[in-house]
Amino acid sequence: MLVKAFADDYDLKFRPHQVEGPASPRDYLDWNARLRKYRLEQKTKKVSHVASAHDVPELQWVQSSYVQPHVMANDLFLFDPETNRYTVDRYVQDVTERYGTIDSIVIWPSFPNLGCDSRNSEDYYRCLPGGTLGIRSLVEEFHARKIKVLFPVIGWDNGTRDPRASWSYILPRLFKEYNIDGMSSEIAYFTQDYWMNSVAIGHPLAFQAQANSENKLGDAPDLDDSLILQWNTMDMAKYDTTTRIPTVALRKFIEPQHMTRSCDKWSRNKTAMIQHSFFNGLGIEMWENIFGTWNQLTPRDAEALRRTTSILRCFGPDFFASAEWEPHCPCVRWETVFSSKFPSRTVEDQIVWTFVNRGPANVTGHQIVVNYHIGIQFYDVWHGVEIQPTDVCDGLATLSFDIEPYGYGCIFATSDVSPLPGNFETLIKTLHHRSRTPLYKIPICSAVLWQELDEIVVTKYTNENICGMVRIEGGAYEFKVKGLSAHPHSKSEYPGVDIKYPWEFQPSRHHATKHMQIKTFYMDAYPVTESQFKKFLDESGYKPADPTNFLKHWCGGCYPASRANKPVTHVSVEDARAYAKWAGKRLPHEWEWQYVAQGGHEYRTYPWGNEWDETKVPEVYSGRERLYPDHPPADVDAFPAGRSCMGVYDLVGNVWQWTDVYRDEHTRAAIIRGGSYYQAKNGQHYFPQAYRNDQHGKYLLMSPSVDRCATIGFRCVKDTEESALSIGNCSFESDECF
């Protein structure tokens, strides 16, 4: 191996939150010396009078939190809508069986529904099933399994209801109330006031920011640039992990106790990400339920994650938070094999090396030359066996073992008289057994979850209860619609986003045109009003199982006097279905709603024509006060010029309207149509409006307490004999869906 003379002016190549490795072993000494000098320069910026969160006893768990999945609060493995209870056992059992132990979890309650009405982030937390006691119980169940819990902070939520105080003041106190362990946010860093508030109230929180090309450490003000790693104890890093030579995680190198986790939520194949994490001694941020879109970890990546993180967890921060970490130790097969050296912080002569093979070929034989003296033992941890050094000479020895294509390796060196790390023998036995199945023999594919309508209702075809309804004559119809979603940001289509119609084979945001035959049916001329819903309650005695937020704007069991003719809101889809059943009707299918809004075969862009006309819809409200009681929707008959040519009113721009509900193994979501009069201020990330007749909104469902919304109402339809024979306009010619 050729090593050139040391040069003090070696030029490091930086990427956002990363530094590129040496091009070859010849550059290693210069590269390593310059990198350590850079770390020393960064550490001198610290101001000593600021307490570091890394030294707080309550936050020591951060350094060993290697696997942290994100989960939606409405995930059907975590919450059962039938019993209205959290199911922590089911969730933990599922992930443990698939990819092993998890150390912490981020639970998302509000996004992507945030902005559909004026509720802000705090309001969504308050709406969760069971209230404060329910959330504390959820957190305690995770804590009983030694899993820490973080809640997200929506950094851009400054356009919904004004909380009247800063989020840095509100959220630490709210999370203390829930006994939450930390915050996670897709921002570059948490400002110091978050940390100081959590310390002041006696509940120090772990703060996790995001490191990517948009969120650069250098974007912080001068003061924060030198301090933020002292209280931002974690970050999820969206690195470019596909380079042949692994990059070095800069935040971890500057502050070894800092927990960085690699994250690549939308990728199908996560091998490069897992390799990058293992090389750097990082954790993994797992996203499978991505705001209602399921992207399951492949079996091969799941097994790789199980093995690599079991190694990280066994050796722990004593090795992987070592200030003596040496990335890119020269390897014999340096073209494709790369290694990092992690000496123990407490035990002399104990070292862990992690290896990754970035190439498509099996690499066998000599791998690395290491320092050696008699009494040192070496273990091939990945294969669970002890190995013997060869070519021992002049205090050096060669270690030989195999690394499969795109595979991993791990060597542990220890003195024969030093105590072994806890659970080391268990780890060796486990990996000896599991490594008998090479990773390349495990499938690396994942399927898109099957979705279906959760309920099909056909009403009795009588002429009763059709007062106030419009007869909609059927006909041939081409149904074409596009789902609106803030994720993913990429312009390319991602399988699994939005919903799957009964005639499709997978969910998609862009739906092909469906040629269908709409059968004649009746539709309410107006959305159901407050007075009509009050009559239903009086005559039926209906009481929801979970009354939280039910008709939240009513007082003393009745709507305000001025709202009799306004569309009823703060009703869940279950409440709406109960009304429809009482009235001998049902909720419309989305294609029925769109057929009416487009004027049948006229295919209008808006109910009144093809050009937007703000005079035909209520005025938009974008203020930061809550919508009730001072900012209600308009009366249902206030804008007659906005009607459809079929004689149906108030379809667009007043309140969203419930239609179909779709369900897969993890998510329930309702399709809502028509948009509303409320638009959150300052927010392109909020729930998007869908005023056009060929657009719809996907509203994630959890529990009626959360689902009830100030801007969602409904209208009903009723079948004729013709549509009833067509299963309520849900029979699609030769494409039988049921």
In this model, does residue 104 exceed pLDDT 50? yes
Question: Mean pLDDT across the stretch 24-29?
Answer: 90
Question: Mean pLDDT across the stretch 63-75?
Answer: 97
pTM value is 0.94
Q: What is the pLDDT of residue 223?
A: 43
- Mean pLDDT score of the chain: 92
**Of 250, 191, 210, the residue nearest 20 (C-alpha):** 250
In this model, does residue 222 exceed pLDDT 50? no
Q: Which two tokens stand for residue 59?
A: 């936050």
Choice between 340 and 486, residue whose per-residue pLDDT is larger: 340
Q: Is residue 119 part of a domain?
A: no
Q: Kindly list the distances between the CA atom of residue 308 and the CA atoms of 293, 348, 356, in Å, as whole numbers in the listed order.
A: 26, 24, 11
Question: Mean pLDDT across the stretch 89-114?
Answer: 96
**Of 719, 702, 727, the residue nearest 455 (C-alpha):** 727
H-only helix segments in 47-186: 88-99, 121-127, 131-144, 167-178
In this model, does residue 600 exceed pLDDT 90? yes
In this model, does residue 459 exceed pLDDT 50? yes
In terms of DSSP bridges, do strands 293-294 and 326-329 run parallel, antiparallel, or are they unpaired?
A: unpaired
Q: What is the pLDDT of residue 1?
A: 42
Q: Which two tokens stand for residue 490?
A: 């990429």
CATH of residue 493? 3.90.1580.10
Per residue in 190-216, pLDDT (tens digit) is: 999 999 999 999 999 999 998 765 555
Question: How is 526-586 classified by DSSP, letter by letter?
Answer: SPPBHHHHHHHHHHH----SS-TTTTTT-BTTB--GGGTTSBP-S--HHHHHHHHHHTT-B
CA triple 552-557-562, angle to 5 deg: 75
Per residue in 137-168, pLDDT (tens digit) is: 999 999 999 999 999 999 899 999 999 999 99
The helix or strand, by DSSP H or E, that contains position 28, with its residue range, turns out to be: helix 28-43
Question: Mean pLDDT across the stretch 448-470?
Answer: 90
Q: Is residue 606 part of a domain?
A: yes
Q: What is the pLDDT of residue 305?
A: 98
Residue 481's domain comprises 453-725
Question: Mean pLDDT across the stretch 569-596?
Answer: 98
Q: Is residue 245 part of a domain?
A: no
Residues of the chain above pLDDT 90, percent = 83
Residue 19 backbone dihedrals phi, psi, to 5 degrees: -135, 135
Q: Is residue 669 part of a domain?
A: yes
Q: Is residue 411 part of a domain?
A: no
Q: What is the pLDDT of residue 508?
A: 86
Per residue in 480-535, pLDDT (tens digit) is: 999 987 665 555 556 778 999 999 998 988 899 999 999 999 999 999 999 999 99
Rounded to whole angstroms, the Cα distance separating 229 from 178 reads 26
Q: Residue 37 in contact with residue 344, Cβ under 8 Å?
A: no
In this model, does residue 597 exceed pLDDT 50? yes
- Give 3's pLDDT tier (boundaries 50, 70, 90): very low
Half-sphere exposure of 134 (CA within 13 A, CB side): 16
Q: Kindly list the distances between the CA atom of residue 113 and the CA atoms of 74, 149, 291, 313, 698, in Å, as whole numbers in the listed order.
A: 12, 22, 9, 36, 9
Residues of the chain above pLDDT 70, percent = 94
The answer to whether the bond into 547 is cis (omega within 30° of 0) is: no
Listed in sequence order, the residues at least 6 apart from 535 whose beta carbon sits closer than 8 Å to its beta carbon are none
In this model, does residue 737 exceed pLDDT 50? no
* Domain total of the chain: 1
Q: Is residue 691 part of a domain?
A: yes
Per residue in 419-443, pLDDT (tens digit) is: 999 999 999 999 999 999 999 999 9
Highest mean pLDDT among 226-235, 238-247, 600-609: 600-609
Question: Mean pLDDT across the stretch 650-657?
Answer: 98
DSSP at 86: E
Per residue in 254-305, pLDDT (tens digit) is: 889 999 999 998 899 999 999 999 999 999 999 999 999 999 999 999 999 9
Question: Mean pLDDT across the stretch 712-735?
Answer: 88
Q: Is residue 264 part of a domain?
A: no
Q: What is the rounded end-to-end Cα distance, in angstroms, of the chain?
A: 68
* Cβ count near 437 (within 10 Å): 10
Choice between 215 and 233, residue whose per-residue pLDDT is larger: 233
- Give 578's pLDDT tier (boundaries 50, 70, 90): very high
Q: Is residue 16 part of a domain?
A: no
Listed in sequence order, the residues at least 6 apart from 214 whose beta carbon sits closer than 8 Å to its beta carbon are none
